[in-house]
Structure 1
Amino acid sequence: MTDFTHRIATIEDLDRLHALIHRAIDRLQSGFLDPDQVRASHHVMGLDTQLLRDGTYFMLFVGDVLVGCGGWSYRKTLFGGDTSLVAREPETLDPATDPARIRAMYTDPDHARRGVGRAILDLCEHAARSYGFRDAEMMATLAGEPLYHACGYRRLADPIAVASDGIGVPLVRMGKALPIGNMS
């Protein structure tokens, strides 16, 4: 297992985060989507800077190298970045009745399948649980679904296609109960 370090992302990290996210969408989605869907994914997915302003977005490193990023949210917005066509829902959720949102998880393609996604997901789940949430939901890409399934997430609905410029990008709503007690 790789020794990762992490920190909370800030607005000053945006250029670095956008570069990683762009590479991740282009290279990691290509095994699941056709080239038009990959291009459309840049308008459906991405980073919502509200996560940075809320202090709920993590950067994961190996040494000085940014290898992944992802976050969680106590707001209603389920997915999509600042430039996506998805409407923002800034209202806050009730941890006693609503699931936290797992958001904008990306792994540098050069570090895929080395535990980066699982490490970020663990950080997000632990933080959401510490905030009082008992459950978590996400809108997963087809490329991310196998990881999330292996981490205990289950499909909550059939896949949907979110359109950008007439091109549908398939996404899957997934959720799970967050573990109680000490999370590693």
Structure 2
Amino acid sequence: MHSVMETLFSQLIQEIGEDVSREGLVDTPKRAASAFRFLNSGYHQSLDHVLNNAVFEADSEDMVIVKDIELYSLCEHHLLPFIGKCHVGYLPQGKVIGLSKIARIVEMYARRLQIQERLTKQIADAIQTAVNPRGVAVVVEAKHLCMMMRGVEKQNSVMTTSSMLGLFRKQSSTRAEFLDLIGRK
């Protein structure tokens, strides 16, 4: 029994001129469908599910930063990967997020068809929703295979996007401290 997605991958392979019954390709539609489901599993998650009650009362008002969170996503324009890292900072206001949950938020939004600009904003908005901090800062740096493997074929280009909310947007000194701490002066 083949899923609709397996059938579509089989048709795609045939459309490029390959023999889907060839030994190396016999199970490819099944594997590709499974991989595609995994790479887009963020559609089946919610912020509440990802947080899993890991929001805690805290007196801390100092900046919290989790940097170098690796991410893998698919460009919604070409369905090719973009690969990079995300840096998240926030200024608590009575609540903090469990450390691993920040990485899980990044992963939830990265595992969807994306553009990097939207991904960056979604992560910032999710942190804002989760703990209502005084500010949120998110920087994403990624290499896009749609630009490396095709089109202009620029191998060393890195796209950087940022979303600054609250005090990170309003106070240049707060923003500068965050950028300094993540190594992006």
Question: Which one has a larger percent helix, Structure 1 or Structure 2?
Answer: 2
TM-score by length of 2: 0.29
TM-score by length of 1: 0.29
Larger Rg: 2
